[in-house]
Amino acid sequence: MEFESTFGTSAPLVGMVHLPPLPGAPKAPDDGDEAMRAAIDRAASDARALDRGGVDGIVIENFGDAPFYPDEVPPHVVAGVTRAATAVAAETNLPLGINVLRNDAEAALSVASAVGADFVRVNVHTGARVTDQGIVQGRAHETVRLRDRLGVDVGVFADTDVKHSAPLTPAGYTAESFADTAERGLADAVIASGSGTGEAVDADALESVVRERERHGLDTPVLVGSGVTPETVADLLDVADGAIVGTALKRGGETTAPVDADRVADLVDAADEVR
């Protein structure tokens, strides 16, 4: 994919659609039809609010499915995400991304291929991380080859030092470093995040990622993946090439609440000061 032409800007703001628990998840309603309707309705409503507020793209993920499968999710999860993503695609023409938690890039690519999405987010694309799901390992070799087999122009947006995790490697070496993720893992964009959902990225860490990109002579975009607010977005976009935003766009700043179009517009207005 071509980053700037996909989003229509060199510094996109991408809003999150956090799905409520899908059928089969521990926190889902006992009635599977009710759970699926709730997910579809929320996805469509959040997509409309994000579009009205002026974001440049959307990512949909199965946020309500905790505790997450570490790697391969079962078919009913793939089916549920596909139905919800189809509902989002029907509401907006914004570029669409898919993230299947915790780290099922094969499922995300398959959903993206089925619904015509533009990119996937992969939490661990190269290297390995210790997470609350155990050790999660990158499968860049499988993900990129699957994309080729499917014959789709779907970007791979890969996290580095992903939130809710810790490295396995010794101090001073990061197996999923920017260079390895972009050069060897062939990621189309790299995402730098804080320590958890809604947590701000460390400014020094973000600048370190950008410096590593420059040292290796790469032009792969760097996105901020968590903790972006109207107060911080302008400064972050002075360093990064875009941002993925969830919590700050929700009613009351609560991650699981519906998207608030006015909060979206406030963030977009603040970002436009430097875009």
**Contact criterion met (CB below 8 Å) for 244 and 8:** no
Let me know: does 48 contact 72? Beta carbons within 8 Å.
no
Q: Say whether 218 sits in a helix, a strand or coil.
A: coil
The pLDDT confidence band at residue 168, using thresholds 50, 70 and 90, is confident
Q: 139 falls in which pLDDT band (50, 70, 90)? A: very high
Task: Provide the mean pLDDT of the chain.
Answer: 93
Predicted confidence band of residue 128 (pLDDT cuts 50, 70, 90): confident
Lowest-confidence pick of 26-35, 189-198, 242-251: 189-198
**Is the pLDDT score of 175 beyond 50?**
no
Averaged pLDDT, 257-271: 98
Residue of 268, 248, 265 lying closest to 257 (CA atoms) = 248
173 vs 176, 177, 236, CA distance in Å?
9, 8, 25
What pTM did the predictor assign?
0.94
Residues 6+ apart with CB under 8 A from 151: none
Of 145 and 133, more confident = 145
pLDDT at residue 133 tops 70: yes
Q: Is the pLDDT of residue 170 over 70?
A: no
pLDDT tens digits, residue range 98-108?
A: 999 999 999 99
Compute how many other C-beta atoms are within 10 angstroms of the C-beta atom of residue 141. Answer: 12
Token duo for residue 212: 């590593």
List Cα–Cα distances, 250 to 18, 166, 186, 261, 263, in angstroms: 10, 27, 33, 8, 7
Q: CA-CA distance, 48 to 55, in Å (whole number)? A: 11
- Residue 160's pLDDT is what? 86
Predicted local confidence at residue 171, as pLDDT: 57
